[in-house]
Structure 1
Amino acid sequence: MKGFLATLCAGGRKHALYLLALLLIALDGQAQVLRLDDPGRSYDPRPALEILKAPASLTFAEAAARPRGGEDGWHVPDELEMLLHDGRQGLWLRFAIQGRDDQAWWLIPSWPVLDRLDLRTRDADGHWSPLQQSGLALPASQRTLPGRQLMFALAPTAGAVEEVYLRLDSRETFVLPLRLVTPAAYLREAQQDAWLIGGFFGCLVTILLLTLTLWGFGRRSGFGWYALYLLSVIGYQAVTTGYGAWQLWPESPAFALRAHLVFTALCFLSGGLFVRYLLSLYHGGRWIDFGNRLLIGYWNVALVITLIWPHLLSFQEMLGMMALSCLGLLGTTTYLALRGSRMALWFSAAWALLLLGSSIQLLAIAGWLPADSPAFHGQMAGFALGFVMLSLGLTEGLSLQRRARIEAQRQALEASSALAREREASFVELELRVALRTVELQQAKASLERLNRELLHQSQTDSLTGLGNRRHFERVFQQEIRRAIRAELPLAVLLVDIDHFKAVNDTHGHTLGDECLRCVAEVLRRHVQRAGEVAARYGGEEFVIALPGSDQQAARTLAERIRQEVAGLELQTEQGRLRPSISVGVAVTVPSNLEHGLGLLEDADRALYAAKRGGRNRVCLSDGLPELGSGRG
């Protein structure tokens, strides 16, 4: 007490009055000073919290000047008063903190779905800190701190008492708790939450892909609604975890303000349709069908309102219908399960898990369970387990249907066999003919498939040389151009032409000319072995080679080796031995776009023309050549 009186004297009249007010608050027992002594733990400000139910249009100074006591003044909230507060009525919060040292702290509201939340602090001298802003109404880039949650930075002076004021301006419901953690502690928690939330989204996306696959094969409407239900829950959880406004639509406040109600309505709408078509509720009784139609109709209207006129509807106003819809769906599936529906039993278990997880999360929100415990993700866990149960139920349903079809087929076969034994021998002969015809058709089908494969191969292959044809090369070449563009790697083209080939045909006949083409093609095939490399007959006596990843030196070296090996070939003719030779044009570039890459063929063509003009039986690069007209022999 002596130290406190000394502080009063030393701090001046204004300072003294402020400290005296804090002392009276502490002695009153209604609010406390939250002491931040341990940087390694998370603090809940509720023991020191006071609230003021007043419009958000007030300034911070006006709100701080409001008297204490009564519903219209600053007061300590009761246990349930802050559980689900309608943000449209306006709400102010304040609490006093005292730091042991100059450690920085972050204030984190655990519910990230708020339109606007502002914060300022006031020190012992009555000075206000700069305004900090966060909420869905702001783009992510304009919030005080980046992250999936709404966060504010506090920097209390060691040993000093400061008041923290929060102003809520939101159409959404405000849900406690608040947490005070150091940045280091938050980053550790955020890493753990990221693994947990990422696992949840990974599980749901996997189930969604499997469901879409089954729906694509079977085209059953129930699977389509199940896929929409999964997608809606993924969107809803993206909103409630804060990842949606942080990562998916960070600069779209207009959608962020609608997203929570839109995905909530879509969840219940798709869930109702999913149950309706999977369990055939339209055949389940008059009242069941009527109740399901009523649920679907309400959420259809709610979805339209939230998309077009979001200000007409709030989460607080939808809570009653949400609870009624959950109980209605659970009651319907339980009733059908008691009447012997196996699928309804799986549905009941899934809804029960979801309600259990939501209840556990509500206990964490209310403060009966630690807010930083896994219990705060109870609804997420309930959704994940529920969808696993629903997927198991759908799998079992498909298995039962398959067994029923097999059993029906078996019974049909037995009946057919019994009938066949009672028929005359002529009918047996007819069945044998049908069976033989079926075998013939199957064989014809197999032959047709084999011919189709051969035709596909022939359409891509030059029949004389066995290399790819021009159509095949152009398709593969465009793929390699795009790959080279993405990887920013060189791409080389070699254009090969057999020298004096027309004279070979005219002098020795087309048979020897064909043999010459095959020999040259075999040389090219031996030198084109790496992945992505392709050699093809480009037309007549002309061949083309694409070499991905080869620079100018490598392409020229390979071209020279090919030229030398062809020059070493010997073909036996009636007039003696024939030694063919080739001219090779080489073009290399790192393509910047498709048109640039396709220009390699023209560059290689110019280089080949230069090789022809230079005496043939040589390799010529396109670099440094002038633009030349095509034409060579």
Structure 2
Amino acid sequence: MPRAPLTHYSAILLFSLFSLLFCAASMAIDHDYVQSQTQVSAINNQDVVDTNDHKNTPLRLTESSITKIDLTDWLYIHNSNNITELATLTLHNNNKQNWHKFTEADMRSIGAKNTWVSFSIYNPNDQLSRIIALDNPLLDRLKLFHLVDNDLKNVELMGDSLPFDQRPLQSNLFLYPFDMKPGELHTFYFKINNRGTLNIPLVLWSKNDFSHAIETQSLVHGLQIGILIAISLFSLFIALASGSFSYSYYCGYVMSLTIIVTSIYGISFQYIWPSLPGLQQLIIPMMIPIALAFALMFTEKVMQLKYHNKRMLLMGRYLAVYCVFLSLVISFLNFEVTIYLLGVSIILISFTLIVFSIIQVLKGTKNARFHAIGRIGLFAGSLISALIYLGHISWQILPQTPIMVGLTFEVIIMSAVLAMRYNDERKAKLQMQKKALEQAVRLQQNRDEALRAEAQANERLEQMVAQRTLELEVTLRELNEANQKLTQQNTIDSLTGVKNRSAFDKRLAAEGRISRRQQTPLAILMIDIDKFKDINDQHGHLAGDHSIKVIATTISDFLKRPTDLVSRFGGEEFAIILPNTDSEGAMQLAEQVRLAISKLSIDWENNPIPLFVSIGVSASVIETDEHPTLLLEQADKALYQAKRNGRNQVSLFSSE
């Protein structure tokens, strides 16, 4: 047992190291951004060429130029968004004031309608082949105009609002290959229509370096998606095998994240629904609330909020219902409203889950610490990605890298938490099976001993049938009494001497059948000792056991009919079955019991112990086989109503 915590911490450490390795791989992909930024200044110092039709500063390329160039420093944006055609735009090119450098403020603006951006590339001496890559698979519509020496050479229409096969190159990124001859000036115009931010990370690649970079990126993306799919399938199989809601909700959560991740990378659009651009537009805003709903339900189960905090349980369920509703109606909302609702929902629910975890950590709930670490890691990654995406911080990495690292870290941590919980449940079941086996062995031994005694008696009886008839009768009587005592021991509570829970369940089923057959009322009383924990804390458990025995004796004194039954239901709770008794009679007896107990005077080591009980009453004519169990639940609800009303009182169940 002492080694269990060490094993858990070792598992968490291994998972954390794995997440760090994924982070390092992602940073390796993004390292080229840093390299390109450090070499851009050298290119800026090269000679530039101006043209009369376009006043922007072109990028000058030679055979010795670096093979990956971030085009942001050469990117210009038009001041007007009312121009829809290239012919109209070229009329404005003679006025240089109509264009300005593309800045972070332009990137942070939400919504782009007929927004024109442009850059130029000049090739003085060499024959070159290049690829323009736009690493934002979520752009709605992009129209590219390629001019060579101010003559229109090609027009391409791209975007995730169009079928995938319309792209120039079949890639999840937006790619445009072209060749440059010596002395040519290549000018590119992009007309962009997008509901989100104007995030256009344009990069100029050589074909060889792009192939190497895209292979590395695909490897890392495939590794992350493979981890998510493997974890979701593993959780699904465990859920189907064990019937555990925890694994079912976690499987739904990870599958939702997998769909979101593959959609963000453009992989789903490329391989799963390439002919359904409408679905590509809706899948991410629809799946985010679903993932949040599964996260809330998974947290409820893994943190066992049903037993630890009812308020947190209700709040989590209300938020889950809100998320499902939001997912259903989000396709009918304006995109700006959708962005606002999703942003507020993600921040609110992520913060709520973190608060839930921290509260349970402070309460000492098992595994809550790791749950909090996973949630905080995902929240931090999401926050950093949002700040990079909106341009508030300038880190030389892709905007989606922090959230993807945080998401992978969170999923792995939650898998570890779920695995530890499964291990704890397995150990608990094994312990229960061990105890049940020991009890079965003891019962078998008792049966064997009884059978041996019976065999010996039968043998003696066979030998003395004629001579000792009287002794035979005595022996048979003693054997019968021994069997009755053995049976009675299995139905009597050892502490109080009243019937135990097993005897209560059997009697309840039998009396239910009699009530149903004879159409007579059956009443059940649930009795609980008020503030019993205070008795144990102040006077010790022996005083608590003595109090239970005194109350059991007092209750038994009030049951006069042989068909009435009192049993110890569990802990400090008692249950009474009153056949052929309506609610009025049951309430009268309950009040007598409550009053008698409240008048008891118990001294324990010269310290008085006041005793009070709360009683719940339910009575009805049994109609179905399940009705006795329902009657018991109603009595239990009435008991808790008496508790809520102030204790030391009797409460009758009412459907209202």
Report the TM-score, using the length of structure 2 for normalisation. 0.54
Q: Is the 8 A contact 1:39 1:182 kept in 2?
A: no
Out of 37, 40, 45, which is 2:71 matched to? 45
- Which residue type is aligned with residue 77 of structure 2? I
Out of 40, 45, 52, which is 1:17 matched to? 52
Which residue is equivalent to 2:430? Answer: 406
1:240-255 to 2 correspondences below 5 Å: 240-255=264-279
SS at match of 1:224: helix
Which residue is equivalent to 1:343? Answer: 367
After superposition, the Cα gap between the structure-2 partners of 1:108 and 1:319, relative to the gap in structure 1 and judged at 3 Å, is farther
| Deviation sequence 1:289-347 (CA, Å, 0-9, x none) | 45424432332222112456686854465223223322222222222223222333222
SS at match of 2:171: coil
Out of 176, 179, 187, which is 2:211 matched to? 187
- Which residue type is aligned with residue 144 of structure 2? L
1:102-141 to 2 correspondences below 5 Å: 102-124=127-149, 126-141=150-165
SS at match of 1:128: strand
- Which residue type is aligned with residue 276 of structure 2? S
After superposition, the Cα gap between the structure-2 partners of 1:37 and 1:385, relative to the gap in structure 1 and judged at 3 Å, is farther
- Which residue type is aligned with residue 394 of structure 2? W
Indicate whether 1:263 and 2:298 are aligned. no
Q: Is the 8 A contact 1:105 1:183 kept in 2?
A: yes
- Which residue type is aligned with residue 52 of structure 2? L
- Which residue type is aligned with residue 43 of structure 1? I
SS at match of 2:189: strand
- Which residue type is aligned with residue 168 of structure 1? I
1:483-498 to 2 correspondences below 5 Å: none
Number of equivalenced pairs: 406
**Partners of 2:439 and 2:95 in 1: CA distance:** 87
Indicate whether 1:295 and 2:307 are aligned. no
| Deviation sequence 1:437-469 (CA, Å, 0-9, x none) | xxxxxxxxxxxxxxxxxxxxxxxxxxxxxxxxx
| Deviation sequence 1:447-506 (CA, Å, 0-9, x none) | xxxxxxxxxxxxxxxxxxxxxxxxxxxxxxxxxxxxxxxxxxxxxxxxxxxxxxxxxxxx
SS at match of 1:120: strand
Which residue is equivalent to 1:529? Answer: none
**Partners of 1:322 and 1:135 in 2: CA distance:** 26
1:281-430 to 2 correspondences below 5 Å: 281-285=305-309, 287-307=311-331, 314-315=338-339, 318-358=342-382, 361=385, 366=391, 368-371=394-397, 377-409=401-433, 426=450
**Partners of 2:216 and 2:51 in 1: CA distance:** 45
After superposition, the Cα gap between the structure-2 partners of 1:396 and 1:175, relative to the gap in structure 1 and judged at 3 Å, is same
CA apart distance, 1:405: 3.1
**Partners of 1:34 and 1:326 in 2: CA distance:** 48
CA apart distance, 1:244: 0.9
- Which residue type is aligned with residue 141 of structure 1? D
**Partners of 2:344 and 2:245 in 1: CA distance:** 29
Q: Is the 8 A contact 1:37 1:99 kept in 2?
A: no
Indicate whether 1:198 and 2:196 are aligned. no
After superposition, the Cα gap between the structure-2 partners of 1:57 and 1:277, relative to the gap in structure 1 and judged at 3 Å, is farther
Indicate whether 1:279 and 2:303 are aligned. yes
Out of 55, 66, 79, which is 2:104 matched to? 79
Unaligned runs of at least 5 residues, structure 1 = 1-6, 27-31, 435-633
Which residue is equivalent to 2:167? Answer: 143
Q: Percent of aligned positions with the same letter in both sequences?
A: 18
Higher relative contact order (CA 8 A, sep 6+): 2
Q: Is the 8 A contact 1:116 1:168 kept in 2?
A: yes
**Partners of 1:86 and 1:256 in 2: CA distance:** 19
**Partners of 2:250 and 2:60 in 1: CA distance:** 48
CA apart distance, 1:152: 2.4
**Partners of 1:319 and 1:220 in 2: CA distance:** 31
**Partners of 1:301 and 1:416 in 2: CA distance:** 51
Which residue is equivalent to 1:175? Answer: 199
CA apart distance, 1:281: 3.5
Which residue is equivalent to 2:526? Answer: none
Q: Is the 8 A contact 1:56 1:168 kept in 2?
A: no
CA apart distance, 1:112: 0.4
Out of 60, 85, 102, which is 1:59 matched to? 85
CA apart distance, 1:399: 1.0
After superposition, the Cα gap between the structure-2 partners of 1:302 and 1:409, relative to the gap in structure 1 and judged at 3 Å, is same
Indicate whether 1:94 and 2:113 are aligned. no
| Deviation sequence 1:524-555 (CA, Å, 0-9, x none) | xxxxxxxxxxxxxxxxxxxxxxxxxxxxxxxx
SS at match of 1:130: strand
CA apart distance, 1:180: 1.7
- Which residue type is aligned with residue 132 of structure 2? L
**Partners of 2:51 and 2:121 in 1: CA distance:** 18
CA apart distance, 1:86: 2.1
**Partners of 1:428 and 1:168 in 2: CA distance:** 94
After superposition, the Cα gap between the structure-2 partners of 1:301 and 1:370, relative to the gap in structure 1 and judged at 3 Å, is same
**Partners of 1:428 and 1:408 in 2: CA distance:** 30
Quick check: 243-252 or 60-69, which moved more?
A: 60-69
- Which residue type is aligned with residue 17 of structure 1? N
**Partners of 1:429 and 1:41 in 2: CA distance:** 96
Which residue is equivalent to 2:628? Answer: none
The alignment's C-alpha RMSD in Å is 3.9
Q: Is the 8 A contact 1:34 1:95 kept in 2?
A: no
Which residue is equivalent to 1:489? Answer: none
**Partners of 2:187 and 2:288 in 1: CA distance:** 36
- Which residue type is aligned with residue 147 of structure 1? S
Q: Is the 8 A contact 1:360 1:376 kept in 2?
A: no
Q: Is the 8 A contact 1:41 1:185 kept in 2?
A: yes
**Partners of 1:282 and 1:64 in 2: CA distance:** 67
- Which residue type is aligned with residue 295 of structure 1? L
SS at match of 1:406: helix
CA apart distance, 1:380: 2.8
**Partners of 2:60 and 2:306 in 1: CA distance:** 58
**Partners of 1:79 and 1:208 in 2: CA distance:** 38
Q: Is the 8 A contact 1:99 1:158 kept in 2?
A: yes
Which residue is equivalent to 1:239? Answer: 263
SS at match of 1:145: coil
Q: Is the 8 A contact 1:420 1:427 kept in 2?
A: no
After superposition, the Cα gap between the structure-2 partners of 1:198 and 1:16, relative to the gap in structure 1 and judged at 3 Å, is closer
CA apart distance, 1:63: 3.8
After superposition, the Cα gap between the structure-2 partners of 1:40 and 1:16, relative to the gap in structure 1 and judged at 3 Å, is closer
Out of 246, 251, 254, which is 1:227 matched to? 251
Unaligned runs of at least 5 residues, structure 2 = 1-46, 455-482, 484-656
1:611-622 to 2 correspondences below 5 Å: none
SS at match of 1:131: strand
Which residue is equivalent to 1:217? Answer: 241
1:596-615 to 2 correspondences below 5 Å: none
CA apart distance, 1:235: 0.7
SS at match of 2:169: coil
**Partners of 2:241 and 2:299 in 1: CA distance:** 20
- Which residue type is aligned with residue 48 of structure 1? W
